[in-house]
Copies of this chain bind each other. A is one copy, B any other.
Amino acid sequence: MKVVCSKENLLKGLNTVARAVPVRTTLDILKCILIRSQNDKIILTANDTALGIETKIDALVIEEGVIALEATFFSSLVRNLPDSDITIESGENDSVTLYCEKLKTAIPGKDADSFITLPDVNTENSVTVSQFTVREMINQVVFSISDSNLNAAMGGVYLEVFDNKIRMTTLDGHRISVRVNELNGQYPKMTSIVPGKTMTDLSKIIAGDQNKEMTILFSKNHIIFEFENTKMVSRVIEGEYFKIESMLREEYETKISINKRQLLECLNRAALYINESDKKPVIMTITDEEILIRLKSQAGLIDERISIEKEGSDIKIAFNPKLLIDALRVIEDETVDIYMVKYNYPCTIKDSEGKYIYVVLPVNFTEE
């Protein structure tokens, strides 16, 4: 193999595929990035067997070929090269020589044949959606994935496409997060439970550009994300997702409208009074025009009042403030509506257009 490419393109490609290089593995070849030159492109591939990423960069291909290079070292080396053209040449015994300006370096490669290539997936259906939308939605739901091993589906984002909608749902034992966006065009129903890590990696690779699109391709065991010159192939989590519809109730006894920033900052302060050994809840006392937010722990007592608009009954209800903080942080509305039924019923934060629903379970509390 002999190719010439720009440092900038190569580094961008390496950073993209690096997310599929496992941090820890006993299989040396998985720590490598596969570099294949073909036509006028270099194809970079990394694969931790659950997630594989492939990206193409422009290059002058003098001789086609393929080699595997240890990802971390090769990426640091390229990052430290001058901003210039880089020539990559593979030789005998998988050795690789790089040239860049007045620099020459010989580094050991690995046998490309032992590399585990990306699976060949027969996809059934696909959807085209803005990269920006996907990135936003992931960030808006991914925090309520459960890292417990009790239930595999809890470790995933439930991705649904139906009619002209894309929906992402996550849940752990204490909350549910749902985001919905509209699509251009009508689609048949497609669903997939995508591992949380895949979604986080995807959100970090895709552009924040509203105008750039991506294609999501569904199959039984895999999901594929295609954008620009990059393809991510991920295994999906098998099984059925939870039936959450019954949890998203419409009835309520109390509805409040509150300034989001004020509530968030207040809960952030209250959360400071909690520590691992003293997990006290924040108690909210909701009356006609005001919410009193109180937390009492060994660290002290904090009391704060925020003006609200209220419909329905007064209520006293307690929460782990972190769960509310996580939801409020990703809501962009200036004012949020919170719906409650009883002190021991799930509480719902949702907008009137149905773009988001955050359900949070309250916790028990004792009056001091």
A residues with a Cβ closer than 8 A to B are: 73, 76-77, 80-82, 102-108, 265-266, 268-269, 272, 299-306
Across the interface, do A82 and B299 meet the contact criterion of CB distance under 8 Å? Answer: no
Q: Which residues of B contact A266 (CB under 8 A)?
A: 103
- Tell me the bound Cα distance from A268 to B79 in angstroms: 11
Specify the chain B residue showing the minimal Cβ separation from A266.
B103
A105:B265 contact, CB within 8 angstroms = no
Query: Which residues in B have their C-beta under 8 angstroms from that of A301?
Result: 105-107
Q: Which B residues lie within 8 Å of A108 (CB)?
A: 299-300
**Contact present for B102 and A305 (CB under 8 Å):** yes
CA A106 to CA B296, docked complex, whole Å: 9
* Complex contact A269–B81 (CB within 8 A): yes
Contact A102 B269, beta carbon cutoff 8 Å: no
The answer to whether B272 touches A303 (Cβ under 8 A) is: no
For residue A84, give the distance in angstroms from its CB to the closest CB of chain B: 12
**Smallest CB separation, A270 vs chain B (Å):** 9
Selected contact of A269 from candidates B103, B106, B304, CB within 8 Å: B103
Q: Are A300 and B268 in contact (CB under 8 A)?
A: no
A82 and B269 CA atoms in complex are apart in Å by 10
Beyond A268-B80, A269-B81, A272-B80, is A303–B103 a contact (Cβ under 8 Å)? yes
